Each structure stands twice: as structure tokens, then as C-alpha cells.
Amino acid sequence: MAVVTIERKVLQKNDEIAQQNRELFQKNGIFVINLVSSPGSGKTSLLERTLEHLKGKVRIAVVEGDVQTDLDAQRVAKLGVPVVQIVTNGGCHLEAKLVQDALSNIDVANVDLLVIENVGNLVCPAGYDLGESMKVVIASTTEGDDKPLKYPAMFRNASVLIINKTDLVPYVNCNLGELKKNALQINANLRVFETSCTTGAGIPEWSEWLRGKTKRT
């Protein structure tokens, strides 16, 4: 019982700060996505392709979350996008306070779209609200088609599913139809996109849909 009580207090405090973040985003007209996935799904590659497609169309900033190093932030910075790195030093997810602290380094008045790239994990980030407009979960074909069944909370809390690395379907044990069916079984309202960062397939469709969610359409 004591453990549950402590956990409740932690989540309650997180939710309070998340609401403060959300109010700041809404005040400035910023659409915010919390990009979540397991490690190796191609999150950063997808982010790079999305930024390239939306360059000059939408004012974007990025918050990068990683257990160690700022390698992903360096990749994003090369695209000329404002980026703030959060190193969790072993923490398996971002929390609202970490995002709030990162925002002090971003000119929110000049941002239409904020992308928060969470730590690679399909468990912990599912339960932490950061103040985002929506969670976007990425599942790669290399992970198989049963990920939604194994990690239902993440797919239940997401609004968008991106099935990435579709170019590898002929070489891996993944049935796209089965993957989508499993995901929609968990959350029938998921918007699904199929993408490949190698061939570029699906990137324009996903990026333009995302652009349509911002105030700069």
C-alpha cells in the first residue's frame, strides 16, 4: 500500500506540471507530439525525414530525451532546428518537469510544432503525461507484429501509430495487416501511417497530416 501511495503522489505531481506545460502550449498555439517507441524503431530517422519535409512550412522545435549522450540532438541540430537535449542518466522516460525545464531554452512564441522525442521504451512513457497534444507511437516491422498485444497501454494512450521500416517487410517476420489489426484491437481510434525512411514512402503523407494539426496550415 505504501508503494502505491508514493507512486500516486509522483504521478499527481507530474500531472500538475504537465497541465502547466499544456496551458503554456495552448497559450502560444503550439501543437505538441510525444514521440514514443522501443529502441531501434527509427524514431530519430523518422524525425529527421519529417523535419526535412516540413522545413520552411512550419516553425519547429525539438526536445530530445536520451538515457545517455546527445547524439540524436546533434543529428537534429544539423537540420537547423532548435533542439534541447535531456539526458536522464538511466531514467527510462521523460517527466513533465524535465520538459518544463527544457522549455526555458526554447522561444515558444516562435514555435508552431514541438516534437518531444521520448526515451526508447514502450512501458514507462505510457503513463507519464508531458502536456502534449498527443502521443505518437512508432512500431517498426523488424519488431514483429505482436508489439501492440505485448504493450497495450502505450497503444491505448496513443493517437497515432506509425509503422516504420516498411521496406523491410519482405525480409522480416512481420505481417502488416496483422500488426494493424492488433493495434486497432487495442485502440480502434488510432490513425495509422506506414513509412520507410530509406525509400521515403509515407513520409509526405504523415508530415502533411502533422502540418495540418498546426496553426500554420
Average pLDDT of the residues in 100-113? 96
SS3 79: coil
9 burial (CB, 10 Å; 0-12 / 13-18 / 19+) is exposed
Residue 8's pLDDT band (boundaries 50, 70, 90)? Answer: low
Q: Read off the pLDDT of each residue in 184-191 and give the average, rounded to a whole number.
A: 98
- Entry pTM: 0.92
Instruction: Report which DSSP code applies to 188.
Output: T
Query: Per CATH, is 2-212 categorized as 3.40.50.300?
Result: yes
Could you write out the DSSP letters of every residue in 119-173?
-S-SSGGGG---S-SEEEEEEEGGG-S-HHHHSHHHHHH-SEEEEE-GGGGGGSS
The arithmetic mean of pLDDT across residues 194-204, rounded, is 98
pLDDT in tens, 20-33: 999 999 999 999 99
pLDDT digits (tens, 9 = 90+) for 47-87: 999 999 999 999 999 999 987 777 878 998 899 999 999 98
